[in-house]
Amino acid sequence: MKFHREGFGIMTISAILFALGSLMNYYFLFCIPILFWIIQSLLIILLYLIVQFFRIPNRVSPFGDDDIVSPADGKVVVIEETTENEYFNDRRIQVSIFMSPLNVHANYYPISGLVEYVKYHKGLFLVAWHPKSSTDNERSTVVVKHANGHAVLFRQIAGALARRICFYSEKGQNVQHSEEFGFIKFGSRVDVFLPLGTKIDVKIGEKVKAKLTRLGTFQ
């Protein structure tokens, strides 16, 4: 396991604040053992939660180029046919994955192919499961076209806690599924818009893992 580069600054500041807080706690409250250990335990838990948020587990995807792979860790909260209005302007199957603050927050390409579209949108910070979060929140949109002609749109969506979306895709770039394309800080969601007729291999409420769960296959 390693830690994501987007977290180095936050983890450093958190470690410094933890050290300062521990010193103050020792200086003022060591004479009151119960209170000292309560506060020290809370400081340790807070530091742990921040550090674990930026963890990147070592994973190797077992899937081939024709598989559609989960781009994120989390829970499937939406599987429905809907109209995608930003790029395709047609009917698509939407699969949405909610990431809690305890999930790994790096995001990965769900398919291999050519990046045809990349756009960042400023926006609100509604809770990630809000129906309008997909269109009103801070978000990024990427479209990749597979060698078989099918294109998939996927969208990072900031949540109520998230205040920065990081994405590294560039138009015209050739990518492989399970390569990293971005990171969202502190609570978020990823929407994937698949062609109608795609065989979906997940269900509502299922917990999925990036690189290791197959969302579906093209038909």
Query: Is pLDDT above 60 for 125?
Result: no
pLDDT value of position 184: 85
pLDDT band at 122 (very low <50, low <70, confident <90, very high): confident
Report how far residue 176's alpha carbon sits from residue 147's, in angstroms, rounded to the nearest whole number.
11
Site of tokens 């995807």: 61
Write out the residue range of the structural domain in which residue 52 sits. 2-56
Q: What are phi and psi of 16, to 5 degrees?
A: -65, -45
pLDDT band at 160 (very low <50, low <70, confident <90, very high): low
Tell me whether residue 61 is in a domain: no
173 vs 158, residue with greater confidence? 173
Mean pLDDT for all residues in the chain: 89
Query: Is pLDDT above 70 for 108?
Result: yes
What tokens appear for 51 in the block? 């550090």
Are 74 and 179 found together in one domain? Answer: yes
How many domains does the chain fold into?
2
Are 179 and 84 found together in one domain? Answer: yes
Task: Quote the pTM value.
Answer: 0.84
For residue 28, how many other CB atoms are within 10 A of its CB? 12
Last residue of a domain, one of 56, 79, 99: 56
Tens-place pLDDT, residues 134-157:
656 788 999 999 999 999 999 998
Region of poorest pLDDT, from 27-36, 161-170, 206-215: 161-170
pLDDT value of position 124: 62
Tens-place pLDDT, residues 37-72:
999 999 999 999 888 888 888 999 999 888 999 999
Are 170 and 131 found together in one domain? Answer: yes
Tell me whether residue 62 is in a domain: no
Are 13 and 89 found together in one domain? Answer: no
Annotated catalytic residue: which of 70, 96, 140, 188? 188
Report how far residue 5's alpha carbon sits from residue 104's, in angstroms, rounded to the nearest whole number.
13
Q: What are phi and psi of 97, to 5 degrees?
A: -120, 120
pLDDT value of position 129: 54
Q: Is 14 a catalytic residue?
A: no
Helix (H, G, I), strand (E, B) or coil at 80: strand
Are 75 and 108 found together in one domain? Answer: yes
Report how far residue 75's alpha carbon sits from residue 84's, in angstroms, rounded to the nearest whole number.
21
* CATH of residue 73: 2.70.70.10
Q: In the chain, helix, strand, coil percent, each to 5?
A: 25, 35, 40
For residue 12, how many other CB atoms are within 10 A of its CB? 10
Over residues 167-178, mean pLDDT: 93
pLDDT band at 1 (very low <50, low <70, confident <90, very high): confident
Tell me whether residue 113 is in a domain: yes
